[in-house]
Amino acid sequence: MTSKARVVIVGAGFGGLNAARALGKAALQITVIDRKNFHTFQPLLYQVATAGLSPGEIAAPVRSILRSHKNVEVLMAEVTGFDLERRIVQTPDADIPYDYLIIAAGATHSYFGHEDWEPLAPGLKTIEDALEIRRRVLLAFELAERQAAAGESELPLNFVVVGGGPTGVELAGTLAEISRHALAHEFRSIDPRRTHILLIEGGPRVLPTYPEDLSRSAEEQLRGLGVEVRTSAMVTLVEPGAVDIGETRLPATVVLWAAGVAASPLGKKLGAPVDRAGRVPVQADLSLPGHPEVFVIGDLAAAKDEQGKMLPGVAPVAIQEGKFVAKLIREEVERLGSNRNPEGAAPLSRSVRQGGGFDSRPTFHYWDKGSLATIGRAAAVAQFGKIHISGFIAWLSWLFVHILFLIGFRNRLLVFIQWAWSYVTYERGARLITGSTYLPGWTAPKPAASVTSERPVAQEIHSGTSK
């Protein structure tokens, strides 16, 4: 029996995975727990939602990624709570003890109290969400074609994206691209190029966390792609087939939600106070106040930079936090356990009991390497320090960075091929409608309508009658 200190990591997103990899070579026993068996490369989820990539191309099994780290165990389980006193993570079928706990449970959508809007306006946080969005978007075109072919009044193709942050901008831009290019020549009764795409942002400009000039550029690029952008517009109601902005009712065949983010509900189960978005305020070393052995990182953490400004919920923050916490733990265990006795008795206890345990911990500093937001084909904005770029070069940077950070050589190769293919052909490779054929607010027209007003020529023939 070893007496290695035991680290439990909850969540295999960017934060958790980077912590696990950085701890993977230390003399520690690591358990990674996630509800899913795979890590999702969230920055490319919108590509799955818009039929550009398949789920398997932006995801990789957690245990595959961590396979070479023999001290890491992976469990697919739902964490239901914590017992911070007994130092236990609770799951439905086991209590999992820890010496150090890293909580990296991420975030989900927020409907700001209107949770009943969710079935009408899916958000984009998981592979399942992406497939649901893909299903609705593609289905809308199919239903419109069917209805038009049947001679019914044409189903208006109004796509409404709520929220002008990076996800909303990506979705709106790519929907425009699809309707103007990929689908343009494949329908006979409708013209997909006439699809109306509306991006609604509550604040005064899209990409509110970006510099103003880039927001303006993003808005121009969106308009260039055919997206209508409405800023300072708050959605007050979502109903099947419609969205209200105050008194104005807008028709909406498909509504996508990119407006709000709420931290994982696991944050509230720590017993510590959380902020309005459900995030857990942490110390400068990213630990939970009063619990130096518990760390909260990634989108779930309310961490601040030196100026007291909240760090954004983006992948680079989570990655750096994961690595920082891993290094801290590794060094602390080494320092505290340096006079470990050869029989392997509890190594950390002496120095801790002597009060030298968690003093003088380092402070986390986020190194902001820049921000990139893609808009559509050859359209993006980028900020690297004081350098602001728009358009094709920004888009190329975005492509490069996203292929580079994808996990797994196979995924990188497949995604690169698909993007090259899409760029040249304008096609989207994963246009499958799976699951139900229900679309909120859509009702089938009455049967018995003919697909064409034209009479089939041979009907009278085969039956031997004539006019």
Question: What DSSP line would sit under 57-112, residue for residue?
Answer: GSEEEHHHHTTT-TTEEEEE----EEETTTTEEEETTEEEE-SEEEE---EEE--T
Does 223 contact its own copies by CB under 8 A? no
State the burial class of residue 357 (Cβ atoms within 10 Å of its Cβ: 0-12, 13-18, 19+).
Answer: middle
State the burial class of residue 262 (Cβ atoms within 10 Å of its Cβ: 0-12, 13-18, 19+).
Answer: middle
367 is written with which tokens? Answer: 């190194």
Longest CA span, the chain:
106
Work out which of 36, 193, 216, 412 binds its own copies, going by CB under 8 A.
36
- Nearest Cα residue to 26 out of 350, 332, 318: 332
Work out which of 188, 276, 309, 386 binds its own copies, going by CB under 8 A.
188
178 DSSP assignment: I
Does 271 contact its own copies by CB under 8 A? no
Work out which of 24, 61, 203, 312 binds its own copies, going by CB under 8 A.
61
Sole window of 14-22, 109-117, 148-156, 378-386 interacting with its own copies (rule: CB under 8 A): 148-156
Binding mask 278-317 for its own copies (x = CB under 8 A): --------------xx------------------------
Does 349 contact its own copies by CB under 8 A? yes
State the burial class of residue 307 (Cβ atoms within 10 Å of its Cβ: 0-12, 13-18, 19+).
Answer: exposed
Write down the catalytic residue from 132, 170, 177, 201: 170
Backbone angles phi, psi at 6, to 5 degrees: -110, 125
Work out which of 24, 27, 64, 281 binds its own copies, going by CB under 8 A.
64
Does 207 contact its own copies by CB under 8 A? no
Q: Which is nearer to its own copies, 97 or 251 (CB)?
A: 97
Residues 86-115 that bind its own copies (CB under 8 A): 86-87, 90-100
CA dist., res. 117 & res. 259, Å (int): 12
Q: Which is nearer to its own copies, 94 or 393 (CB)?
A: 94
Sole window of 172-180, 185-193, 282-290, 298-306 interacting with its own copies (rule: CB under 8 A): 185-193
Residues 392-411 that bind its own copies (CB under 8 A): 410
To the query of whether residue 73 is one of the catalytic residues in this protein, the response is no
Tell me if 422 sits within 8 A of 52, measured CB to CB: yes
Work out which of 18, 31, 215, 264 binds its own copies, going by CB under 8 A.
31
Write out the catalytic residue numbers: 170
